[in-house]
């Protein structure tokens, strides 16, 4: 494939910088966006920490909530990996804090890309746009499934990812011109931390290792390694059959929080001695839910499993992810090595 410069939006994020590192390994020219150019040096340091040469990255300023900067960001670009989107540790009081940047941002990027003659955009969506707001289908979720944004248990983050992806597909159908779109829908993203500004999944793991959670809820989490997520973005960008397709990024079945904690204790020994060994009773979570946003979120997930299949990505693109255990262990060991867990 004849590749020119690739734009990666949101380059300072966990997935964004991993995509940059992945592209640089192929010798690809990379441009990336940050909201403020004062973050440019931080971004280059993250690229260096990830083992790549930051001199191969051009950094430009563009904000998802502002038209300024996007025509310049996509100028001369052949493909865009649109990764930028907010993912909070805590749910905001005003859901528009998430929905507006996600939905308006993707439309800005798609519009600018279309006008600049970009061939394909790969949007980082989420399992959040697939597996919520409806009854569990009784099987592993696939790309055919869609979240009901008005369904039960749908948080502002889940709604934002669903509405943003819906808006992207509608744009392509109605006014995309020759622009192609593919989406990557990851579950919980683990893998080696790059720097100390942690993603939500890595912060969860840090809290488990650090004793921040004396007990865990009756729920589960699915996992995928960030390096495999970056690989899938690049495959979806390059493969001729990926246009118009969604791809779930997941490695194996979901794991309960208790089993996750036990796994950490088993593999890390004394270094994971603070990981919890008990499950908080459901009734306690439900009783506290009216008084705590965190407990309300927890209550909506009680007993829930989100098993999902990566069969489509493997079959169509040849994508083979690392195991769930390898992704989680790489995360935990990196957090320990970075000194982010108490000795």
Find the helix or strand (DSSP H, E) in which 338 lies.
none
For residues 84-108, give the mean pLDDT: 75
Checking if the pLDDT of 90 tops 60, the result is no
* pLDDT tier, 216 (very low <50, low <70, confident <90, very high otherwise): confident
For residues 96-100, give the mean pLDDT: 78
pLDDT higher at 299 or 251: 251
Instruction: Supply the DSSP symbol for 323.
Output: P
Residue 55: burial class (beta carbons within 10 Å; 0-12, 13-18, 19+): exposed
Checking if the pLDDT of 300 tops 70, the result is no
Can you say whether residue 278 is alpha, beta or left, with left for phi > 0 and alpha for psi between -120 and 50 degrees?
Answer: beta
Are 159 and 99 within 8 A, CB to CB?
yes
Are 16 and 32 within 8 A, CB to CB?
yes
List, for residues 22-79, the tens digit of each pLDDT value. 999 999 999 999 999 999 999 999 999 999 999 999 999 999 989 999 999 999 999 9
* pLDDT tier, 156 (very low <50, low <70, confident <90, very high otherwise): confident
The structure tokens listed for 255 are 């794991």
> Which of the residues 93, 161, 286, 312 is marked catalytic?
161
How many angstroms separate the CA atoms of 265 and 259, rounded?
A: 10
Model confidence, pTM: 0.93
List, for residues 261-296, the tens digit of each pLDDT value. 999 999 999 999 999 999 988 888 788 777 765 566
What is the residue extent of each domain of the chain?
A: 5-192+223-251+307-322
> What pLDDT does 180 receive?
98
Say which CATH topology domain 5-192+223-251+307-322 has. Rossmann fold (3.40.50)
Say which range, 196-200, 224-228, 325-329, 330-334, has the weakest mean pLDDT.
Answer: 196-200
Checking if the pLDDT of 89 tops 90, the result is no
For residues 306-323, give the mean pLDDT: 96
Tell me the DSSP string of 2-34: ---EEEEESTTSHHHHHHHHHHHHTT-EEEEEE
How many angstroms separate the CA atoms of 240 and 235, rounded?
A: 9
Checking if the pLDDT of 87 tops 90, the result is no
For residues 138-158, give the mean pLDDT: 91
Find the helix or strand (DSSP H, E) in which 1 lies.
none
pLDDT higher at 92 or 173: 173
Give the rounded percent of residues in the chain with a pLDDT score beyond 70.
Answer: 93
Please say if 312 is a catalytic residue: no
Checking if the pLDDT of 102 tops 70, the result is yes
pLDDT higher at 155 or 141: 141
Half-sphere exposure (Cβ direction) of 169: Cα atoms closer than 13 Å:
16
Average pLDDT, the chain: 91
> What pLDDT does 98 receive?
77
Q: Tell me, rounded to whole angstroms, the distance of Cα 321 from its chain centroid.
A: 15
For residues 305-332, give the mean pLDDT: 96
How many angstroms separate the CA atoms of 238 and 19, rounded?
A: 13
Q: Which residue has the tokens 């940047």?
A: 101
For residues 151-156, give the mean pLDDT: 85
Checking if the pLDDT of 86 tops 70, the result is no
> What pLDDT does 93 receive?
63
């Amino acid at each position: 494939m004849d590749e020119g410069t690739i734009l990666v939006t949101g380059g300072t994020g966990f997935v964004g910088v991993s995509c940059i590192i992945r592209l640089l390994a192929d010798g690809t020219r990379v441009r990336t966006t940050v909201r403020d150019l004062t973050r440019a040096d931080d971004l280059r340091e993250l690229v260096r920490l990830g083992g790549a040469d930051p001199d191969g990255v051009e950094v430009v300023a563009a904000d998802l909530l502002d038209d300024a900067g996007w025509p310049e960001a996509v100028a001369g670009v052949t493909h865009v990996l649109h990764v930028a989107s907010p993912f909070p540790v805590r749910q905001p009081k005003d859901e528009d804090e998430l929905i507006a940047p996600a939905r308006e941002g993707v439309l800005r990027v798609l519009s600018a890309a279309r006008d600049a003659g970009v061939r394909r955009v790969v949007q980082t969506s989420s399992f959040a746009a697939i597996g919520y707001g409806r009854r569990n289908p009784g099987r592993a979720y696939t790309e055919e499934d869609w979240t009901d944004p008005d369904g039960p248990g749908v948080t502002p983050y889940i709604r934002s990812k669903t509405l943003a992806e819906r808006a992207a597909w509608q744009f392509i159908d109605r006014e995309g011109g020759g622009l192609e779109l593919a989406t990557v829908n990851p579950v919980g993203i683990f893998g080696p931390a790059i720097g100390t500004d942690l993603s939500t999944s890595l912060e969860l793991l840090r809290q488990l290792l650090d004793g921040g959670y004396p007990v865990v809820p009756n729920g589960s989490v699915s996992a995928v390694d960030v390096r495999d997520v970056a690989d899938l973005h690049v495959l979806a960008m390059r493969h001729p059959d990926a246009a118009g397709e969604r791809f779930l990024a997941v490695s194996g079945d979901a794991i309960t929080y208790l089993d996750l904690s036990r796994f950490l204790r088993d593999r890390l020994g004394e270094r994971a001695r603070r990981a919890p060994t008990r499950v908080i009773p459901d009734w306690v979570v439900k009783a506290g839910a009216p008084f705590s946003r965190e407990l309300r979120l927890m209550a909506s997930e009680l007993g829930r499993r989100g098993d999902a299949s990566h069969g489509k990505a493997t079959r169509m693109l040849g994508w083979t992810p690392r195991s769930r255990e390898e992704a989680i262990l790489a995360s935990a060991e990196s957090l320990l090595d970075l000194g982010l867990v108490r000795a």
